[in-house]
Structure 1
């Protein structure tokens, strides 16, 4: 290897290490710079005594110790900073100027209130949640996600061009959800209800990565944000369930029933506002749930791998094919999405410099199993379409499985290369983050193109 090539590879290793450092919320930019300077100095010293660049880097990293240990050390040394990060306001020594956290609190309160009000605005035009199910199902994402995007765009100080693009995409979603003459039992209603929130969530992603649209790292941060936002939303929902039960019990004890208030106001408005609040919590308190990602992935990856392998073994012994009716298609697609989610979340939580281990081999087995199931489902769908013709549901399932097939196939290839120590882990991360626009494009195709192509069936 020539000297320029060795230096280029060394800089790539520094970049991977820096990327991992910057994921620690308690470390500021200056802290990361200080750590990198220390690491570079150690590498230069080792190279001066005769070590190759890659050897010097590995030895220097080992000398610095575990990054988690370093993070905890910095947290202890800067305990006042960490404390301010984990609470809503600053010190208590009299009046102080509004901090960034306080401004964020005001902004999220406005956006959460906007989402809650948005759910009730259709009632001014005669729409009711218990009577106009189709309208609320297709417009679900439009009640909440524009407000979450607005909060993130404000926090990231997004430019006017990006804000204009997001407004246009949300407006396009509103047109797609309401302009087509869809009957209550139309398959396009279900497809729009599923795919439009996905398309709009990726518009939220534009607001999240507004500070660096082309960065693979920022896209991976958005993937992490998605998972942690879901976790916070579930926790908020559990707390809301306890609150609702308490309200029913206490009010019924005095002869009053809060059922109307709960069903018409608390649940719909609370569910909408909670989306914005969950996003804010991820932004404000990232380090609180950061360790949940590796725990969940390490718990469920072996379990899902065992289930998928057992399913394939049972399918091999059974004479029955895979049922590709609508409910079964939704189930299999959800299964593949969960597998993809486990892969994405494990990537976002993994140390890119760590060598491959048993868990990586389990992930490879999981992806390969999902890939085989995806191929079998595709064969069944293609056979049914050839024999009976296509429907919106089958066409959507066909396209989604083709998209997942491409992702899983190349992911399996990259994982195989990594497990065999022939490819860097960073290649897997770049592939997944670069594939996000494909999901967005397909979701918009289903929402905008499918209804007129299939005569609004």
Structure 2
């Protein structure tokens, strides 16, 4: 009896694993139902062969899936054979089953509602006399993220069916952000206003990440999912922004052709409402189309990693050749900080799309060159910032720049060490992925520290 029960349990576990695999396959809309059935038949036959050779069911399942290739590779293979189907699905809704279609309609309606709430939220301050384009620009700058991101978090909280406890945490953090942005007595020319406008969106974006992962923020895998989502979201948001720019240009010129000035409408309604609504629409597009085109950020990473690596190496060669240091002007330091953030983004999205079991290749060596180059530049920037602080003393801007470069230095240093260990075969690539996903917590702590503590530490300067 005991042996029979164990056999049944193992069979049930195997069927559960296959069911999970099948469900993921069926979400990939470039694969039709018959294609998924064919793949499942191949999978089951491989599992049977491996089980007959003496492997346990769970071992046979994992090895069979690995030998069949990743799901992305399988999807690309089917997409090549059925290319007309893939192109149609980029623009057509397809033919999902009734429950899937009903849920898609609900998600569309909820997305539209959240986008409308965000668009209306940015107009609410105007009811109290705050002018978007006038003297109240500082208020809108430091509160910009509070108009759109709560609605985005609400969309993901609904979509992920998060519990009351997670909703309470999300609401508390957004309230804390609102208080930090508005409770401090900051002058219009205060450096802390600029720092809040830069760091509060980052802090609240990571709060959105808690909603995106359904409250499971401790999971490395779920944090990496959110990193992937962020890259895709940026691409969609940029595309919507470009399209919105074209729309505004046509609106201004077509109405101008009949003697009407549409600039007031564009500046007061179309631009601000469209920008905050695009935050939610971009997220919905990522979720809706991820089964068809989910690797845009890693593809761009493959293109730009060699270019940025060559640029940074050329810059370091020019520094050595000319014996010139980095200019310590604030705008220049901001430019280099932005460059380091881009390098970090290239690293993150290359990691997110990499097969952890694959052997080191040329692209990995290019990434190591990119990281080492960025690390050297970061040290040069830190030297420049330290010299500026030594000469002029601490200020909110210089302290924020110092802290951010120290954080980037720690990340890049350990990333370079892990990359080197991987290339030399001394450690698995998964350690680099875990390092990056866990380091997100450091960014969150620093962003909240700048928003909450800096105005107090520097006497609201």
TM-score of the alignment, normalized to the shorter chain, above 0.5:
yes
1:21-80 per-residue CA deviation (whole Å, 9 max, x = no partner) reads: 96995189x9899887666555556677xxxx99x988x678525644422467789x99
Range moving further from structure 2, 404-413 or 97-106: 97-106
Q: 2:130, 2:95 → 1: CA distance?
A: 44
| 1:124 alignment counterpart | 127
Q: 2:447, 2:132 → 1: CA distance?
A: 25
2:331 is aligned, of 327, 333, 348, to: 327
Map 1:34-433; keep pairs closer than 5 Å: 41=48, 43-44=50-51, 63-65=67-69, 67-72=71-76, 87-88=92-93, 99-131=102-134, 132-210=136-214, 212-433=216-437
Structure 2 residue ranges without an equivalent (≥5): 1-16
**What SS is found at the alignment partner of 2:133?**
coil
Indicate if the aligned counterparts of 2:308 and 2:370 stay in contact, CA closer than 8 A.
Answer: yes
**1:83, distance to aligned residue in structure 2 (A):** 8.1
Q: 2:163, 2:404 → 1: CA distance?
A: 33
Structure 1 residue ranges without an equivalent (≥5): 1-14
1:297-341 per-residue CA deviation (whole Å, 9 max, x = no partner) reads: 111101111111111111223343222332122111101100000
| 2:14 alignment counterpart | none
Indicate if the aligned counterparts of 1:228 and 1:289 stay in contact, CA closer than 8 A.
Answer: no
Q: 2:101, 2:292 → 1: CA distance?
A: 23
Range moving further from structure 2, 406-415 or 316-325: 316-325
Q: Provide closer, same or farther for how the CA distance between residues 158 and 320 of structure 1 changes in structure 2, counting only shifts above 3 A.
A: same
Q: Provide closer, same or farther for how the CA distance between residues 446 and 38 of structure 1 changes in structure 2, counting only shifts above 3 A.
A: farther
1:76-100 per-residue CA deviation (whole Å, 9 max, x = no partner) reads: 89x99998897558579xx999611
The count of residues paired between Structure 1 and Structure 2 equals: 430
| 1:7 alignment counterpart | none
**What SS is found at the alignment partner of 1:287?**
coil
Q: Provide closer, same or farther for how the CA distance between residues 98 and 296 of structure 1 changes in structure 2, counting only shifts above 3 A.
A: closer
| 1:442 alignment counterpart | 446
Indicate if the aligned counterparts of 2:146 and 2:174 stay in contact, CA closer than 8 A.
Answer: yes
Indicate if the aligned counterparts of 2:157 and 2:212 stay in contact, CA closer than 8 A.
Answer: yes
TM-score (norm 1): 0.85
Q: 2:78, 2:281 → 1: CA distance?
A: 29
**1:182, distance to aligned residue in structure 2 (A):** 1.1
**1:186, distance to aligned residue in structure 2 (A):** 1.1
TM-score (norm 2): 0.84
Moved over 3 A (4+): 21-25, 30-48, 60-63, 65-69, 72-77, 79-92, 95-98
RMSD (CA atoms): 3.3
Q: 1:22, 1:427 → 2: CA distance?
A: 26
**1:248, distance to aligned residue in structure 2 (A):** 2.1
Q: Provide closer, same or farther for how the CA distance between residues 186 and 42 of structure 1 changes in structure 2, counting only shifts above 3 A.
A: farther
**1:213, distance to aligned residue in structure 2 (A):** 2.8
**1:185, distance to aligned residue in structure 2 (A):** 1.3
